[in-house]
Structure 1
């Protein structure tokens, strides 16, 4: 489960005890996450070989799945790390696997 919290509501008198957004669409335990697309999306990998990108929407309590890829664990191995490199003209998502 991926949860996003509003850090402004975690301080002071009005402490929020609920996450602002939740995503339950992954398969298996998460191994890594990284922000991408100008911090508007979150890429995550799981131990089952799932690579997913979800869009963080400002005015809703759910994240929208915008990309899924299932790695073949026998051919490619499971993803163990993920990172994002981006500029104004391009966005590159990189993940490492182990066989």
Structure 2
């Protein structure tokens, strides 16, 4: 499976490198786009859940890296949850 790394910019300007075990992430996030925090988290949740399921279908077990990445995004997103205008930018993808 082709894995993908993508870089995001959180509302405070910090940059984070992220991981997906599948290209499906590109169906949900677009390089150069900025998303409202709840939308970004929902898209990430759906894409990384699908990516993990694809790994499970192929190898017989879910992708722990995808699930950890999702947990990390959810946890980091909590810091901005009280900011109604919080947005997350997808900076770039690297395969």
Q: When the two structures are superposed, what TM-score results if normalisation uses the length of structure 1?
A: 0.26
**Structure label with greater radius of gyration:** 1
Q: Greater helix percent: which structure? A: 2
Q: Which of structures 1 and 2 has the larger relative contact order (alpha carbons within 8 angstroms, sep 6+)?
A: 2
The structure that is strand-richer by fraction is 1
